[in-house]
Amino acid sequence: MLKKWLQNSNYTVVFTGAGMSTESGLPDFRSSNQGLWNKKDPSKIASTDALNNNVNDFISFYRERVLGVKEYSPHKGHYILADLEKQGYVKSIITQNVDGFHQQAGSKNVAELHGTLQTVHCQSCGEVYSSQEYVDKEYYCTCGGILRPSIILFGETLPQDAFQFALEESRKSDLFIVLGSSLSVTPANQFPLIAKEMGAKLVIINREKTPFDYYADQVIRDQAIGKVLAGLDM
């Protein structure tokens, strides 16, 4: 069914969440046993308040995350999506993930709703650097400001450019495919509903149930994303 819909679609948009990254080996945030938030309180370590008032713990936590991302790489599912984009089947990707794996695999039209761990930038002047700075334990800009990962912290709003791009793509889609998202985080979880309201078919591929399975035209559970995508054989 999904393959036929993809072949007949004029505008397919893909939405990816933590489940896409965990297939590369990265830990997620909210799983009941391995989630990062079971080890750290996000309000105390991944927030603007921590950046301003608890900078040493903030830097220590995010250096660990930067190093973690560099230990892994895109899996076959990322490469299949990039290939589907090259073939014209997939128009864009909206992602909640911050690992940058979609771009590494070759995808071009990607909206990173929560930013990226691939770069850091100066909290004072905005200068952008590679996240290699954190690997090398270089935490300060030439202007003297603190370097921070280019991700959205608790207490910050989503980047407007990425949000508007995602909104427009959702409205234009006639097939909207969710890959590995619990659809529990707002406002990101509204994009599948917006697509559905505009008449798109909605497909949800996720290990566990989501709050929006009821609205989906097809739900696939208990299958690896990479395996499902490979089975499309486009």
130 is in an annotated binding site: no
pLDDT band at residue 206 under the 50/70/90 scheme: very high
d(CA 232, CA 234): 6
Residue with tokens 């004029």: 10
pLDDT at 63: 93
73 is in an annotated binding site: no
pTM over 0.85: yes
pLDDT at 43: 62
**What DSSP character marks residue 34?**
T
Give the three-class secondary structure for 146.
strand
Best CA proximity match to 109, nearest among 131, 94, 87: 94
Residues 6+ apart with CB under 8 A from 67: 134, 135
Residues acting as catalytic residues:
114
Asked if residue 38 has pLDDT above 80, the reply is no
Asked if residue 131 has pLDDT above 90, the reply is yes
122 is in an annotated binding site: yes
Going by DSSP bridges, is the β-strand pair 147-151/115-122 parallel, antiparallel, or unpaired?
antiparallel
* Per-residue pLDDT reduced to its tens digit, 160-205: 999 999 999 999 999 999 999 999 988 999 999 999 999 999 999 9
10 is in an annotated binding site: no
Residues 106 and 86 sit within 8 Å (Cβ to Cβ): yes
pLDDT at 181: 95
d(CA 49, CA 41): 13
Residues 147 and 139 sit within 8 Å (Cβ to Cβ): yes
pLDDT at 167: 98
